[in-house]
Chains A and B, each alone.
Chain A
Amino acid sequence: QQPVQSPQAVILREGEDAVINCSSSKALYSVHWYRQKHGEAPVFLMILLKGGEQKGHEKISASFNEKKQQSSLYLTASQLSYSGTYFCGTERKSGGYQKVTFGTGTKLQVIP
């Protein structure tokens, strides 16, 4: 089952903050976040493991609430370079495998 991301798209002015949410209907082992710039392959941002920890990467951080099966990605003081599509990937057991399934993505555009 594909995780659900919201919002589908967001436009920010430089310096503004944004939150991207990712939720699953199934129990999760971990949540992965990736960013894909136009015409490029997705690039890893961070992995959050069970335990509800919050991780950070520059001004981008994320949290994982395993009870609610939700993760949120926080972008603070956004920069033009943050523009791209953000994907969450949820890891869970499926048919004997532990597999990562990606959401539909959130298109983020940062404008001057």
Chain B
Amino acid sequence: GAGVSQSPSNKVTEKGKDVELRCDPISGHTALYWYRQSLGQGLEFLIYFQGNSAPDKSGLPSDRFSAERTGGSVSTLTIQRTQQEDSAVYLCASSRTSAETQYFGPGTRLLVL
């Protein structure tokens, strides 16, 4: 079956503009994670959705970052008023439950000029 997909694969934007990153998880997966990975660095947790529960937003670095998950499926990560330090690869992962394998999407490479 289809894996996790993300779009766009690459995004170049100007400082101060807003961007939206999309994640399509594997069908039936209740858990969805967003991570940020700067060049050569680890996986920085951003936000976690589990079923219909309120999301865990503890990893969002500032109020410029927000995410939603509609109908328990597709998720959108929005970054408002982008800054150069927001440049990174944004990875989405989904799993059947929190205890199971996370399947990662290919990521969105964001470059803020």
Chain B residues within an 8 Å CB radius of A101: 45
Assess whether B99 is in contact with A91, with CB atoms less than 8 Å apart: yes
Chain A interface SS verdict (over half): strand
Residue of A nearest to B3 (CB): A41
Minimum C-beta distance from A22 to chain B (A): 12
Contact of A64 with B by CB under 8 A: no
Task: Render B79-99 as a binary contact track against A, CB cut-off 8 A, 1 for contact.
Answer: 000000000000101000011
Chain B interface SS verdict (over half): loop
Chain B residues within an 8 Å CB radius of A34: 102
Given contacts A41-B91, A47-B101, contact A97 B50 (CB under 8 A): yes
Assess whether A41 is in contact with B104, with CB atoms less than 8 Å apart: yes
Contact of B1 with A by CB under 8 A: no
Residue of B nearest to A41 (CB): B104
In Å, the complex CA distance between A3 and B34 comes to 18
Q: How many A-B residue pairs have CB under 8 A?
A: 59
Given contacts A41-B91, A41-B104, A43-B104, contact A99 B98 (CB under 8 A): yes
25 contacts between A and B (CB under 8 A): A29-B99, A30-B99, A41-B91, A41-B106, A42-B104, A43-B104, A44-B101, A87-B43, A89-B102, A94-B56, A95-B58, A96-B53, A97-B53, A97-B56, A97-B98, A99-B48, A99-B56, A99-B98, A100-B33, A100-B98, A101-B45, A102-B42, A104-B42, A105-B42, A105-B43
Q: Which residues of A are in contact with B by a Cβ distance under 8 Å?
A: 29-30, 32, 34, 40-44, 47, 85, 87, 89, 91, 94-105
